[in-house]
Each structure stands twice: as structure tokens, then as C-alpha cells.
A and B are shown apart, each in its own frame.
Chain A
Amino acid sequence: MHPLTGLLATNFGSPSGVTTQDHYVRELWRLSGYFSVPIGLIVLGLITFAIVRYRHRPGEDRKPSQFQYHIPLEATYTIIPLVIVAVIFGVMYNAENHVTKVSAKPSVAITVDGFQWGWRFVYHNGHVQIGTGDYNDINNNNDLPVLVMPSNETVQLHVVSLDVVHTFYVKEFLFNRDLIPGINNTFDVNVTKPGLYPGQCNNICGEYHAYMRFLVDVMTPTQYAAWYANQPACSVTTAGVPGTQKGSCSAINAGADFTGYTQAPKG
């Protein structure tokens, strides 16, 4: 690779995402970097030059220049940043429209319920994925609820808070979305790379905020279809262990799936 191409291809530290959104995020990181790194270096360079070149040396009898205005210069460093900001905004606007687009016909739609302090993922047939609420050992990943979804398909997540404000956040999705009582939030993800990704609540929601974690298990579409066919309607899978309660939609509606947690959500 040509050194210059290599330099320009840097992601400025941002990690790679695993969704179709990754392309737009990367484009914006690069654009912001191409402008801000040189500007930052120029400003730092000018400051360094000034304090080295114009510093007061003992015994020196140099009079400071007393100029105050230079209108063309001032206009230049007003107009150029305006143009840069306009360019960034234009590219960002386009990316934003792609990222926030919500499909009318998603392949899979899953409801994501957040509560103090855990997650519940409800599928179309009423199947529930939930955790157990272990607030003692943060290193234990076996108590976590698992969000199962297919790759390379548009998955629509409808996020609902059952009590306070939470935020659905998966680092590899490069995406955050809040769960706010009173607000209907829906977004699409299309994961291109199957795998197991950690997720976590990203808005302070009380005592055990740090423990409000989950896993996303992204399967290939065929694996997913097989998995989904195996989940009876209104069954509950607790922390990856399937079938603790089977076939009672009314029990789930009454909150029976929260048995792993100390209390059902309030509020």
C-alpha cells in the first residue's frame, strides 16, 4: 500500500463495526480527521513557534510590536472554518439519513425491554429471552440474557423501558439508542458478521447499572431460522437455558418471566 493511502485509511482510533452502518461511521471519522488533524497541528505549531521565537530572553531589549487588527487575515480564518463545517455537515446529513432509516418491512422484529436491572428480548411468537440478575460477580457472563438475531438481514429492534431511562448499546454496532418511558423508539440493524457481541446499558439507571449487560448472538440466516423454529410460542429462555417455562402467554404477561430478578419492574 502506498504510504499516503495507508495514512489516509486510518480510522483515527475508532474500532470497526459489524453492521452496514459501519461504512458511514468510518467515512465521517475519516472526514473529521482529515480536517481536524491538520488544523490541530497548525494551531499547535503556530503556538509553539510563537513561544519559542518571541519569548522574552533575559537582558534582551526587543520591543513588542503593537499591531491589533488585520481584517483580511481575520476574515480568512472565519470563512475557511465556515466552509469546512458546511462540508462536514453535508456529508454527515447524508450518512444520518441512511443510519436512521427505518424499514417498513424488516425480516425480523424483536422487542427489547429494559428494566432495573436487566433486559428482556421478546420475539414475534411471544418467545422471551431473559437473564437471571446476578449482581455479585461482574465477571460472570453465564447469567446474561442473549439477544439472538440473524446476520445479513434487516432486524428491527423496538426498544421499550419498563421503568427508568436505559440505553441499548452494543459497541460493535457503533450504535446507542435510549429507552425512555413515553417514547416509541425503533431502529434497524443489519449485521454483516456473525458472532457473539457484548452489550450493556449506557445510561445511569440506579444501583446495579454496571450489571445491566447482555449478549448478542448473531447467527447466519439458516442457523437463525433453525433456532427460531425451535422456540415454542411464549416459551422463556433464561440466560441461555431454554424452556424453564413453556407455552403460557398469560403467565408471561403477568410477569412470570422475571422470576430470576429480585422484583418485577416498578414505575
Chain B
Amino acid sequence: MTILEERPQLPFEAHEPSLMEIVPGPRPRGIVKFVTSTDHKQIGLNYLFTALTGFLLAGLMALVMRTQLIVPNNHFVTENVYNEMFTIHGTIMLFVFAGPFAFAGFGNYMIPLMIGAPDMAFPRFNNLSYWLYLGGFSLLLAGFLTNNGAAQFGWFGYAPLTEAIHSPGPGADLWIVGIGLTGLSGIFTAVNIITTVFTLRAPGMVMFRMPIFVWNILVTMFLILLAFPVLTAAMALLWIDRHLGGGFYDASKGGQPILWQNLFWFFGHPEVYIIAVPYFGVATEIISTMSRKPVFGYKGMIAATLSIGALSMGVWAHHMYTTGAVLLPFFAAMSLLIAVPTGIKFFNWIGTMWRGTIVLNTAMLFCLGFLAIFLFGGITGVILAQPVLDFQVHNTYFVVAHFHYVLIGAVMAGFGGLYYWLPKMTGRKLSEKWGKLGFALLFIGFNLTFFPQHDLGLRGMPRRIETYNAGMGWNFLNELSSIGAYITALGVLVNVWNIFTSWRNGEIAGDNPWDGQTLEWACSSPPPDHNFEALPPIRSERPVWDANHPDMLTKVGH
């Protein structure tokens, strides 16, 4: 109270202060802007395009693998090259593409806009995060330039295969440091986004008026803070093992190889949700906007996200059922329980579409693709959560199919996010014609690639084998899967082509091309420096909709 009373009177008549500070003079452009900018939008774009580059490179590695497996007893690549391919494919897809694309790319760009903030809480720190991330990405790739090649032990690098005696050479070290750097970058981004969300919300933007996307990223960031430091520690111990004879994971020196598995999956399972939860948020935003309705069960949706986050910290050992060294019933119960909040989300998405007017554009099609694919991945997840069934299909192609349904399901929502938000970022819409073709190719190609892999797994094909015996009954299914991979690649190329041509020649989007509901649609496309000249009143979780459609406010009660 006293502080307010002591404030001096303004010497001039108060008028509405501008939210934006205009700094005159030329702006840095091109490479200088890319390197020096602390603007959350520029950094967000940096992340998005670096992640997409990772996606294309890792996708290329997948094509090498699928070509190697298209016929039995194939010698397209050597064993070591094949092992490098799946190791770096998995590592880049998880650490460089799938996670950062959503939480750092869309997150950076959209969170300040969605909560009505001028930038992130720590803009320079944000810039540092990006450069650590790019550094980590480069080191992962640099492994290919070393004389022993890149890491060859799979993306979860089980000790003691990762020890110096079994994996000599700098490729494995570059893998360790590369993951360490992307992990640090993730931790820094988490600190930044949590601070931004807690301190920079616009007046009226209380927690329960934040868009679901912001909520989901917030939960993801807490998961990062819990999980990534453990990964960094595990990597540090591994480095000490390799170079200083630490023996942490070496049974002959009194260490425990199983310790690595516990540490890695303590990070690794939350990581799955660190990847998926932001995409749930993207899908929620798109479904709600394209159905022109509020998110059905908004608070239930948040509760579901929070419980997914909480449960995901207690399920890591379901990756280790077959080790014979974990408490099976506990981890089975926790893993099965995650199906419940995930199911709630599905029904909320359906409720959001119910009695709306659904616009079936490319962004929405990608979300529907996400729903279909993720649903199937969720069902096979319930099967794998049961130790007795996991004993049967553990580490087979059934598991490969399962997690690609989960992860590429999520990535489908990410592509939807590009079609939804790139108009805001570039000012131009993407071509619907190319977009629908790209979606169709991706959806068909993806299912053709991964659906047969369920059966391959049930027929006993282990993952990560470089070649297989012709008499196992796996030949036809592998052929189908490889053809599907080529179709998927074509779909990816069509979408990338669409992004680059529409960037220059697309239809002008305007501020609010989709009749959006959340705050990012209140500023120009692309938004100016420091984002907002004025904000609409924030009285619900969809202030822009309320301002544009005063006759269609959310119905209170049920």
C-alpha cells in the first residue's frame, strides 16, 4: 500500500501507453540476424529449421536402413555402417528433431505470443540455448567424419557395449558430448520458458486462461528439469568410464551395467512424453480453432496433462522388463495407468469437434492423421505395458512399429502445426493443394512402412539386425515396409517443397487467417519486434475469439 502511495504523480496527462518500444534504425538481416538475434521469434524459426534439417538427414538414414532390409542377405551397406545409421537416426530424431521442433521451435515462437509477452524472460540465454543445440547436433554428425565412424550402439547405448574396449574411437565420444549439449540446451530452454510463463503473462492472462499448448509446454518443461540432468550425469559417468577408467558401468571393476539402463530410462521415458505432450498441445489448438469451438473439458485436459507428466516419471523400467532386475508389478501398473489420461484427451478432442463447424484443411487433416495413428500406437502401448506380453515382443519390430506410431503420430500433429502457424510466422499461407497431397503421401507411406512391422515383430524379427535369413517368413513384409518408406520420403519432400515455395509465393495470410482464438492471432503476420501494439481484453482462454465473436461466447455450465 505504502509503495503505491509514494508513487509520484505523472507530470503529464496519462494516456494509454504503447506496449511497444520502437527503436529506429536498420535491423540486422540474414546471417547476422540468424547469429545475433535474441528475438524469440527468430530463435524459434532457427530451431524449427535446424530441427527440420535433422529430420531430413535422419530420414535419409532411415532410407539407407530400409534399403538394406528390402531383401534378405543384402549387402547394400556393411554391418558397421548399418549400426551407425540406426544409432544416429534415433539420436537425431529424438534429441534434435522431435523434441526441440515442438518445445523449442513452436514453444519459443508461440509462447510469448500466446501469453501476451514481448519476448522470453531471458532472451540472451535463449540465444545460448540455440547455439548449444546446434553445437550438439553438429557433433552428432561429426562422428561420421572420424576414422572409426559414428556411434554404433543404438540410441540408448547400453553399457558395457559403450565402454572404450567395445566401442573404441571418437565417434562414441562425440555422441556423448553431442547428447550432453542438446540436453543442456533443453534444460536452459526449460528454465527460460518456465520463467516466462510464470512472470510475463499479460494482465488478465491467469493460469487457467492460458491456451492448452502453453500448459502442455509448461508441463513438458518441468519434465525436462527432472529428466535431463539425470541424462547429463549418466553421460558424464560414461565419459569418465571411457577415458579415466571410472568403472561405473563395468561389472569387472565392481560397477553395474544395469545402472546405465536405470539412469538412461529414468530420463528416457519422460523423454517420450517430453516429445509427445507439446504435440498434444499443437493438436488441441488446431482442432479447437478448425472446429470453431472452445476446447472441450479445458480443465480436465490440463489435469490429464499433469497426470501424464506425473505418471511418466514412474514408468521408466517398462523398458527393462526383460532384464529380470526390476519390480514388474509396480511398473506395469504405472504404465497401464497412463492410458487413462491419454484416453481422456482423446474424448476431449472428440468433444471439441462435436457440434462444431469443422474446416477440413491441411492443418486439420494432419491432426486427424495424428489422432488415428496415435490411437493405434496407444493400444499397442497397453499391450507392451504388460510384462508377460512384453516378454514375447520385447525389442522386436513390434516395438519398433509401436513407437513409430506414437512418435510419428505426434510428428503428424507437428506438420499440422507448420500448416497452422507458418502463416503467422511468414505472413503467407502454405498451398492447400500441395499440402493435401503431402498429407496423403505421408499418411499412406507411414502406415505402409510401419503397419507390417507389427507382424514382423510377432514373427520374431529382432530390431537392429543388419540382415536376415531368407527362410524366416520376413521377406514380403520387409519389402512392403521399404516401399512404404520411399512413399513416406516422397511425402516429406512434397511438404518441404510446399514450405519453401509458399514462403515466397503463398497466398497472403493476414493477421488471423483461421479465425483463431488465442492471442497470437491478435498481432500482425509476421509479428513486429516485441509483438503487440495492443491486446484485446483477456476474459477467457480465447480472447481473440471473444473480441471477434461477442455473440458466440463460451456457454457457462453444462
Contacts and interface: CB of A to CB of B under 8 A. Distances in A.
B152 A167 contact: no
B524 interface: no
Contacts of B158: 164-165, 203-204
Contacts of A185: 323-324
B236 interface: no
Interface string B279-302: 000000000000111111111100
B379 A36 contact: yes
Nearest to A199: B460
Contacts of B324: 177-178, 183, 185, 187
Nearest to A197: B460
Contacts, number: 277
Contacts of B340: 78, 81-82, 85
Interface string B145-173: 00000001110001111010110000000
A139 B469 contact: yes
Interface in B51-89: 72-73, 79-80, 83
A164 B161 contact: yes
B465 to A, nearest CB: 4
B336 A202 contact: no
B323 A92 contact: no
A202 B350 contact: no
Interface in A21-66: 24-25, 28-29, 32, 36, 39-40, 43-44, 46-47, 50-51, 54-56, 60, 62-66
B353 A180 contact: no
A71 interface: yes
A60 B343 CA distance: 33
A14 B158 CA distance: 28
B257 A180 contact: yes
Contact of B165 (A60, A81, A183, A267): A267
A198 B391 contact: no
B372 interface: yes
A13 B350 contact: no
A181 to B, nearest CB: 4
Q: Output the residue of A25, A71, A74, A185 with the most chain B CB within 10 A.
A: A74
A9 interface: no
A141 interface: yes
B497 to A, nearest CB: 27
Contacts of A183: 257-258, 323-325
B379 A40 contact: yes
Q: Output the residue of B297, B360, B375, B462 with the most chain A CB within 10 A.
A: B462
A209 interface: yes
B339 A67 contact: no
B540 to A, nearest CB: 9
A95 interface: yes
B350 A46 contact: yes
A169 B462 contact: yes
A150 B344 CA distance: 50
Contact of A40 (B299, B375, B396, B468): B375
B498 to A, nearest CB: 23
A203 B261 CA distance: 13
B469 A138 contact: yes
B166 A164 contact: yes
B388 A163 contact: no
A64 B161 contact: no
Given A64-B292, A182-B257, A200-B462, A54 B355 contact: yes
A187 B485 CA distance: 39
A252 interface: no
A55 B389 contact: no
Interface string B185-229: 000000000000000000000000000000000000000000000
Contacts of A82: 340
A192 to B, nearest CB: 16
B161 A176 contact: no
Interface of B: 72-73, 79-80, 83, 152-154, 158-161, 163, 165-166, 251-252, 255-258, 291-300, 322-325, 328-329, 332-333, 336-337, 339-340, 343-344, 346-348, 350-351, 353-360, 368, 371-372, 375-376, 379, 382-383, 386-392, 394-396, 454-455, 458-460, 462-472, 552-555, 557-558
Given A69-B299, A177-B391, A185-B324, 18 more contacts: A15-B459, A25-B391, A54-B356, A65-B356, A68-B558, A70-B297, A74-B348, A81-B344, A93-B332, A96-B328, A96-B387, A138-B73, A165-B257, A167-B394, A183-B258, A204-B464, A213-B469, A267-B163
Q: Which 3 A/B pairs are nearest by Cβ-Cβ distance?
A: A171-B460, A182-B251, A210-B465
21 contacts: A39-B379, A50-B350, A50-B358, A54-B354, A56-B360, A64-B357, A64-B552, A65-B356, A68-B558, A78-B344, A96-B332, A99-B391, A137-B73, A139-B470, A165-B159, A169-B462, A171-B459, A183-B258, A198-B469, A208-B79, A267-B166
